[in-house]
Amino acid sequence: PRFFAYLSLFAASMLLLVLANNFLVLYAGWELVGLCSYLLIGFWFERPAAARASMKAFVTTRVGDFFMFLGILLLFFTVGSLQFDAVFAAVQTGSLAGPLLTLAAVLIFGGAVGKSAQIPLHVWLPDAMEGPTPVSALIHAATMVAAGVYLVARTYALFFSSPDHLALTVVAYIGGLTALMAATIGIVQDDIKRVLAYSTISQLGYMMLGLGVLGYTAGVFHLMTHAFFKALLFLAAGSVIHAMNTNDIKEMGGLAKVMPVTYVTMLVGGLALAGVPPFAGFWSKDEILLEAYHHDRTLFYLGAAGAFVTAFYVFRMIFYTFTGSLRSHTAHPHESPQVMTVPLIVLAAFSGVIGLVGAPWPLVGNMFHRFVHFEAAEGVPFDLRFAALSTAIAGAGILAAAVVYRWQLVSSATLRRVLAPVYAVLVHKYWWDEFYAVSVVRPVVWVAQQLRTFDVYAIDGAVNAIGVVFVWLSRLYRVFDLYVVDDCPGGDRINTLTGTGGMQCSA
């Protein structure tokens, strides 16, 4: 009951967020989904790893939320209203413009950076995989983490109207760098859920990249297609974990024969993620790369490199899991029951066809663009030659993964040895956690310890000392009252107390 209570609260909070018509209600929903994420990541709170992961997610996302709150305050004191219509009207009339507008947009983007796990606040999402797998699939892949992308899309007028599109440039470069960095880390992950976690971070980076290069429709379209194939991949991973009782892909292998439904559906999800036509991910990712190519070649190269690495790591995961022979001697894998496989089939069907709503049909054109677009940022028309290039990049990544992990023409151990410095950087995740441990966690813990010492020995010590002093003063006063003020009526007692004899009161 607790699990479904959390899920219901999350669903209500997410609806509040997306249906809000002002920043105040949106922020309330924003914080509530963060709370639900904390509760669901730490659902198995008796596990130390889950408890730490939930706290890490809560604290990290609060950093971004603080900047978002500052941005909302700035808008309120500048415009005098938090209604979206009023704020956008102020932008259109020029009463909110210049550096102030850029600052407000970048501050609001800070909230999106935290919620959508972008550099430098991306470190919480991989640890969030300690939660139940349905939470990973439905919340930390398809909905809550996409709230940051939704926020940028919902307030796109602020970013677009920033002088020289400076705010959009920030969004694009943060997204592009995140897309490539997270994809490269995914190459060396052995935990199947962590591979998909870094994949999610990377794909969220692509969405930000699309929005940042004026590809409004492309970014939002990728948000939609990604929800289907990433939920599919996470639930398929859950099916594999259910069969193997382990998350380690290096202990798996040969599961295609015993888990055919899970294998085929995960293969569909992998092809969609890699961007192979006609699957969903191809149409949206190709559109993002095309927009980047026309607006900033550096961002295009970041996106193209990320696309190659994406295809490589997802098929590394598939080859490790489903091909070859079983590497575990204790597991007895079996296909999951229909209650688990039927949702996989449904999601696989959508992952195969949902991208067609954004395809360039001869008569009706891009149907998705007709309903979701930003008039001032029209998309670049579909380019068949560029689509072929995008497909070739994905194919090259799949081929490279097959050479190493399927056909084993090149040993992965040899690659690790030859590329030892690169492997060290990737396996340590670019040392982001270590950096935060040294620069933030340890100083904060040290300050907390000093404050605790001051509290115990200075503040509490002073209060306790005052109490001790008054206890002794009261005892002295008691003796004085009994044996001096009352003319020593208890002389025998004071003799007994002092151990003396013959003491008499004077007449």
**Model pLDDT for residues 391-401, shown as the tens digit of each residue:** 999 999 999 99
Same domain? 365 vs 301: yes
CA distance 274 to 245: 27
Backbone angles phi, psi at 402, to 5 degrees: -65, -40
CA distance 462 to 455: 10
Same domain? 184 vs 55: no
CA distance 287 to 285: 5
Do the domain assignments include residue 491? Answer: yes
248-268 residue pLDDT tens: 999 898 899 999 999 999 999
Same domain? 86 vs 180: no
3-state percent breakdown (helix, strand, coil) of the chain, nearest 5: 80, 0, 20
507 pLDDT higher than 50: no
Do the domain assignments include residue 88? Answer: yes
Same domain? 351 vs 485: no
Give the type of residue at 441.
Answer: V
Note the pTM of the prediction, 2 decimals.
0.88
Same domain? 413 vs 460: no
Same domain? 91 vs 142: yes
Same domain? 257 vs 108: no
Do the domain assignments include residue 462? Answer: yes
Same domain? 214 vs 292: yes
Domain limits for position 179? 166-427
Which range, of 14-28, 141-155, 418-432, averages the lowest pLDDT? Answer: 141-155
Task: Give the mean model confidence (pLDDT) for residues 457-464.
Answer: 91
501 pLDDT higher than 60: no
End position of a domain, from candidates 131, 161, 191: 161
Do the domain assignments include residue 503? Answer: no
Task: Give the mean model confidence (pLDDT) for residues 16-36.
Answer: 93
Same domain? 142 vs 187: no
Which residue shows structure tokens 């920033």? 162
Tell me how far CA of residue 320 lies from CA of 80, 201, 237, 316, in angstroms. Answer: 57, 22, 13, 6
End position of a domain, from candidates 99, 130, 161: 161
- CA-based diameter of the chain, in Å? 126
Closest to 79 measured CA to CA, from 106, 101, 110: 101
Do the domain assignments include residue 111? Answer: yes
Residues in contact with 411: Cβ distance below 8 Å, sequence separation at least 6, in sequence order: 404
What is the total count of domains within the chain? Answer: 3
Same domain? 117 vs 178: no
Do the domain assignments include residue 507? Answer: no
Same domain? 121 vs 216: no
Same domain? 211 vs 184: yes
Tell me how far CA of residue 135 lies from CA of 79, 140, 141, in angstroms. Answer: 39, 7, 9
Do the domain assignments include residue 299? Answer: yes
End position of a domain, from candidates 372, 396, 427: 427
Question: In this structure, what token pair is assigned to residue 36?
Answer: 């639900």
